[in-house]
């Protein structure tokens, strides 16, 4: 796995009223600081939102509805996992938090209609000077096609 990337299994607490899951706490070892929270929804499966990396910002991703495929590539030249790629599927059926450090390209594709992702960022997004470097979704080859196994 790419250095500093984590998949944190989450647990649903269920009773006769419904369910609750804690996504991120300030006491978690993978928490750095709080900037903002936002919700991203894709109306149809197959929508790709990729690729970008940050210089400072940490991202924490949680799929609150549907399912998504995440692709990460380490672009930190001083990292022992430089140029390594990780692929993860996050789903409401298997709740997890994906931790993405600065310097790692990341993107995602919805695998189901009406997929929703909650993203927590360590920094507030600066629209005039965004902390992001964007590249094409095909920069790392055909990583989006779901292949038979």
Domains along the sequence of the chain with CATH: 6-134 (2.60.120.10)
Q: Is 25 helix (H, G, I), strand (E, B) or coil?
A: coil
- For the entire predicted model, the pTM comes to 0.94
pLDDT at 149 over 90: no
- Percent of the chain past pLDDT 90, that is, above it, reads 97
* Closest to 3 measured CA to CA, from 67, 65, 83, 62: 83
* pLDDT the model gives residue 147: 86
**How far is C-alpha 52 from the chain's CA centre?**
11
Q: Phi-psi bin for 92: left (phi > 0), alpha (psi -120 to 50), beta?
A: alpha
The tens digit of pLDDT for each residue in 67-103 reads 999 999 999 999 999 999 999 999 999 899 999 999 9
- Mean pLDDT over each residue of the chain, to the nearest integer: 97
Average pLDDT over residues 110-125: 97
The alpha carbon torsion through 37, 43, 44, 50 (nearest 10 deg) reads: -30
The residue among 31, 50, 55 whose CA lies nearest residue 40 is 50
Q: What percent of the chain has pLDDT over 70?
A: 100
- List, for residues 14-39, the tens digit of each pLDDT value: 999 999 999 999 999 999 999 999 99
If you average pLDDT over residues 142-146, what whole number do you get?
A: 95
Which residue did the predictor score with more confidence, 148 or 135?
135
Tell me the CA distances in angstroms from 88 to 26, 27, 33, 93, 107, one per residue in order. Answer: 24, 25, 24, 14, 11
């Amino acid at each position: 796995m790419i250095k500093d990337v984590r998949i944190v299994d989450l647990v649903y607490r269920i009773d006769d009223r419904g369910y609750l899951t804690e996504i991120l706490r300030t006491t978690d070892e993978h928490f750095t600081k709080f900037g903002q929270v936002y919700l991203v929804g894709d109306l149809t499966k197959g929508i790709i939102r990729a690729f970008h990396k940050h210089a400072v910002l940490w991202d924490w991703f949680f799929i609150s509805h549907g399912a998504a495929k995440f692709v990460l590539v380490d672009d930190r030249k001083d990292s022992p996992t430089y140029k390594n790629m990780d692929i993860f599927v996050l789903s409401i059926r298997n709740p997890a938090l994906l931790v993405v450090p600065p310097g790692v390209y990341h993107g995602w594709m919805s695998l189901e209609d009406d997929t929703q992702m909650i993203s927590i960022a360590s920094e507030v997004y600066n629209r005039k000077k965004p902390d992001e470097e964007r590249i094409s979704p095909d920069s790392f080859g055909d990583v989006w096609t779901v292949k038979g196994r």
